[in-house]
Amino acid sequence: MVTYQRKDSYYHKAKLAGYRSRAAYKLIELQKRFKLIKKGMQVVDLGCAPGGWLQVAAKYVGSSGCLVGVDRLAVPALDFQQVKILQGDVSDAATIAELQASLTRPADLLLSDMAPDTSGVGFADHARSLELVEIVIDLASQILKPSGGMVAKAFDGPDLNELIMRLKDSFEEVKRLKLKSTRKGSRELYLIARRHKA
């Protein structure tokens, strides 16, 4: 399954490189900047369909690592033994139980590129994207190791600062970043939280 939307330069690069989505370049950009993923890590990728981040992160964790992807959509298998893919909604307790069972120890890093189905109503989409980030923060308290990290996509809007304050309660360092690889005009940004306080 390959989904490409409007055909910008990242679309063409992704197609040539064999990535399942142009989103792969967002994780590459995050990794260049923050060096979040290291060999041997246990990493969770929430909202992983169609699999661009999985393809990139699988190489960063290497064969000694473990990468668990979750999406409510089906994701065709990838040819990396360190990648497991689960289908389910992250707001569903059964999905979280399955995710916990897939990890052999607390996760080093939670990635979330989850996005709500957009309505076109800016504030509603912003609010729903923040709800997804709240789910990831709650999940961090269950499956992330102390000092672990988290990256989550959010749509910018008036309630973002309050959410960042909440993240700062749980993590020692929180940054926000608009990526070059994000489409022009998009309200998408990424929150990068490090050193979980749990």
Q: Which residues are identified as catalytic?
A: 153
For 57-106, where are the E strands, in sequence order?
A: 66-71, 83-87
Stretch that binds ligand SAM, among 51-59, 119-127, 154-162, 169-177 (CB under 6 A): 51-59
Stretch that binds ligand SAM, among 20-28, 57-65, 76-84, 101-109 (CB under 6 A): 20-28
Residue 86 CA: distances (Å) to CA of 35, 92, 133, 164, 175 = 26, 13, 19, 28, 29
Out of 9, 76, 89, 161, the residue judged to bind ligand SAM by CB under 6 A: 89
Stretch that binds ligand SAM, among 29-37, 86-94, 164-172, 179-187 (CB under 6 A): 86-94
Out of 1, 40, 74, 91, the residue judged to bind ligand SAM by CB under 6 A: 91
- Residue 89 or 138: the one with the smaller Cβ distance to ligand SAM is 89
47 is a site residue for ligand SAM (CB under 6 A): yes
Q: 27, 57 in Cβ contact below 8 A?
A: yes
- Residue 89 or 173: the one with the smaller Cβ distance to ligand SAM is 89
- Residue 155 or 171: the one with the smaller Cβ distance to ligand SAM is 155
Q: 65, 83 in Cβ contact below 8 A?
A: no
Out of 49, 68, 154, 174, the residue judged to bind ligand SAM by CB under 6 A: 49
Stretch that binds ligand SAM, among 4-12, 99-107, 109-117, 163-171 (CB under 6 A): 109-117
Q: How far apart (Å, rounded) are the C-alpha atoms in residues 48 and 27?
A: 12
Q: How far apart (Å, rounded) are the C-alpha atoms in residues 174 and 164?
A: 7
Here's the x/- map for ligand SAM, 114-153, by CB under 6 A: it reads as: xx----------------x---------------------
For 8-120, where are the E strands, in sequence order?
A: 42-46, 66-71, 83-87, 107-112
Give how far the C-alpha of residue 180 lies from the chain's centroid of Cα atoms, to the nearest Å: 17
Out of 30, 71, 83, 160, the residue judged to bind ligand SAM by CB under 6 A: 71
Cα-Cα-Cα-Cα torsion 160, 163, 169, 174, nearest 10 degrees, comes to: -40
Residue 168 CA: distances (Å) to CA of 109, 150, 151, 152, 162 = 16, 12, 13, 14, 10
- Residue 1 or 165: the one with the smaller Cβ distance to ligand SAM is 1
